[in-house]
Chain A
């Protein structure tokens, strides 16, 4: 192999997300908008699971709310013919994530599971990732947050509490994925079974609009959902290759 072949091959590897030839898992979430009632249970569950601070009224008014998953509401038309539609928006765990290329210190990167992860310790707070993210799902800690007693007693010990000046975002509840992988290893299984792991939002969803799983496993629930003709990705034209797939709502107008 001459130099140019080696270079080409190396370059191709470098172009792959996270430099991996192949991911161990391809965690995917499908969100069925036909089933979604917009009840915001997922937002609350996420807040409790991931130690997301309640920023308070003043910061909320400034537009600094922290919601790793949020319900976006869109109105069409004027009252009384107004139509309301909503869409849960969370980190899309893009395979070609714009946020990963821009971080100067590699605080956000692609891990072996194909997840877009954020290392709080490494983050220096340039906020460039939030600018580059077209989904606006990265949240910045504008100041230190504290939990009044007895709320500090319910902080999740598996998740860190982030300090000021650090960017954070949805991790697909990576702490649960890690636990499931450890348990699979202890049981002598090679892989996590479908249904072994659920992020907090999926677990909470009363209508089962959210489904989570490994799309590398053709038998998984999520793989079957992906075959639905209603499936689409948000801002697909930007070619960020998101791992969150939405199933279109079909109403009377079509």
Chain B
């Protein structure tokens, strides 16, 4: 990046916010259209008709809506978590990509929360899961893992919104000084009177590190709690202690793959070639490789635990998962999430953009299948064979799944025009100071004072 100057960074990032080509408008138009047609329209139909519009039935009362919920929560995991860990370990390569990764967190959490509303039978009463004083003198059930879930997701959403916003304040100020009109008014409000004094930098650095430390355990707890929705039941193949680490690893895995996809798109279509480089793909590839190995290990462990239990119900559940009706999906998941990522061992693979994009999308398809299988295979085969059933998603569910992707894309497209999607001030920290020779030790780093 030695060709880049400070002014170039400002110019490039502000350009990404201000200059909007027809390609962007086309993309936004399609995204909004698909969201309305495939997400909101079927959802309203379902609200009118009842959950019966989806394919769920008597033993399999949970379906793709819950699978999507876990998937989106999982996708949200890498952004803020990775950004926090890399911030605390002072990793240079984080700085160009963390903003969009955190945005991914935020928007996938929003989509996940929407999926809960789609999932429940009477979403207009969903606020009853919140503990608030009311005239009925009723409280939610504090023993319920679903209640922990509501609280964990709400806390995580709040935490990561504050984190992404706070990290962007100096950038808002930088953009404020270079724009005009309504944009300027907006950034004046968003930058909260940032002037870049030493005191402000000091406080920002301190608060940012504090939040980073706070969010790491929060992120781990969120997906553990999501896993308890399943693990705390006595359903065969769900009632397993490995579920919390299984879900957390799976979440970070799919989240990292999601970041690779988003990086590719940003790099290609927002002209950030000089900022998002092969180094980022290389590092994210290594991370994905490690996560895929842990994920594979836990999968083997899950099957082993089922077999080792020796009870007929567990054995049946395992057998059904691997060789039953949904077996093709199971082996697809193994191929996409356990076998294909072994390609990442090669550095040439990790540093080539298009293969990384294909792999990251494949991993996320595999991870969605994993969530789908967790919900469907276990529920359709439980204790009493008379109540066994089969679950196949309906058209409404497939449409809402596609629509939720479009909803995520819409939110992200709006984001890239409001938020500087590459952190201006932190990218500058990685660059040589102008009019000064680089010191012997390398580039001086910004250290948060504690």
8 A Cβ contacts from A118-177 to B: 122-128, 130-132, 134-136, 139-144, 164-167
Would B386 and A142 count as touching, CB distance under 8 A? no
Show 13 residue pairs from A and B whose CB-CB distance is below 8 angstroms, ordered by the A residue: A63-B57, A64-B58, A72-B384, A102-B146, A104-B150, A105-B129, A131-B235, A134-B383, A134-B384, A142-B50, A142-B52, A143-B49, A165-B51
CB within 8 Å of A: which of B34-71? 49-53, 55-59, 61-62
- Contacting pair B234 A123 (CB below 8 A): no
Contact with A along B123-134 (1 / 0, CB 8 A): 101101100000
- CB-CB under 8 A from A105, the residues of chain B are 125, 128-129, 138, 140-141
A93 nearest CB across to chain B (Å): 17
Contact of A164 among B121, B232, B382 (CB under 8 A): B121
Report yes or no: B129 in contact with A124, Cβ–Cβ below 8 A: yes
Shortest distance from the beta carbon of A168 to any chain B beta carbon, whole Å: 11
Q: Lowest 10 CB-CB distances: which A-B pairs, in order?
A: A125-B121, A165-B121, A142-B52, A143-B50, A63-B57, A164-B50, A136-B387, A72-B386, A143-B52, A104-B146
User: A4 near B: Cβ within 8 Å?
Assistant: no
Interface residue A179 (Cβ < 8 Å from any Cβ of B): no
Query: Residues of A contacting B55 with CB < 8 Å?
Result: 62
CA distance A131 to B122 in the complex (A): 17
A7 to chain B, nearest CB (A): 16
Starting from the known contacts A128-B144, A134-B234, A164-B50, 10 additional A-B residue pairs (CB-CB under 8 Å) come to A59-B52, A101-B141, A103-B141, A103-B144, A105-B138, A124-B128, A128-B146, A131-B379, A143-B53, A235-B383
Q: How many residues of A contact B (CB 8 A)?
A: 43
Q: B59 near A63 (CB under 8 angstroms)?
A: yes
Binary CB contact string for chain A from 85 to 123 against chain B (1 if under 8 A, 0 otherwise) = 000010000000010011111100000000000000011
Quick check: A124 and B147 within 8 Å, CB to CB? no
Judge whether A238 is part of the interface by a CB distance below 8 angstroms.
Answer: yes
Interface of A, secondary structure class, is loop
Q: Are A102 and B232 in contact (CB under 8 A)?
A: yes
Per-residue A-contact encoding for B358-389, CB less than 8 Å = 1, 0 else: 00000000000000000000010011111101
Q: Does B143 contact A (CB under 8 A)?
A: yes
Residue A190 is within 8 A (CB to CB) of chain B in the complex: no
Q: Which B residues touch A65, using CB under 8 A?
A: 58
Cross-chain contact B58 with A74 (CB below 8 angstroms): no
Query: Do the beta carbons of A126 and B50 come within 8 Å of each other?
Result: no
How many residues on chain B are close to A (CB under 8 Å)? 45
Interface residues of A (CB under 8 A from B): 59, 62-65, 70, 72-74, 89, 98, 101-106, 122-128, 130-132, 134-136, 139-144, 164-167, 234-235, 238
Alpha-carbon distance between A74 and B234 when the two chains are bound, in angstroms: 23
Docked-complex contact A124 and B126, CB < 8 angstroms:
yes
In the assembled complex, which residues on chain B have CB atoms less than 8 Å from the CB atom of A106? 138-141
Interface residues of B in 138-180 (CB under 8 A from A): 138-141, 143-147, 150
Interface residues of B in 93-143 (CB under 8 A from A): 119-123, 125-126, 128-129, 138-141, 143
Cβ-based interface call for B229 (8 A)? yes
- B378, closest chain A residue (CB): A131
Interface residues of chain B, those whose CB is within 8 Å of chain A, are 49-53, 55-59, 61-62, 119-123, 125-126, 128-129, 138-141, 143-147, 150, 229, 232-235, 379, 382-387, 389-390
Bound Cα distance from A101 to B141, whole angstroms:
8
Chain B residues in 8 Å Cβ range of A125: 51, 120-122
Give A215 to B123 CA distance when docked, in angstroms. Answer: 40
Q: Is the CB of A89 within 8 A of B386?
A: yes
Given A89-B384, A141-B50; A131-B61 close (CB under 8 Å): yes
Give chain A nearest CB distance to B371 CB in angstroms.
15
Residue from B53, B61, B128 with most neighbouring chain A CB atoms (10 Å): B61
Q: What B residues does A74 contact at CB under 8 A?
A: 385-386
Chain B residues with Cβ under 8 A from A143's Cβ? Answer: 49-53
> Are B57 and A166 within 8 A (Cβ)?
no
Give complex CA distance A132, B52 in Å: 20
The answer on a CB contact under 8 Å between A132 and B234 is: yes
Q: Measured between C-beta atoms, what is the minimum distance from A53 to chain B in Å?
A: 12
Interfacial chain B residues near A126, Cβ < 8 Å: 119-121, 146
In the complex, chain A residues whose CB is within 8 Å of the CB of B123: 124
Chain A neighbourhood of B233, CB < 8 A: 98, 102, 131-132
B57 contacts A131, CB within 8 Å? no
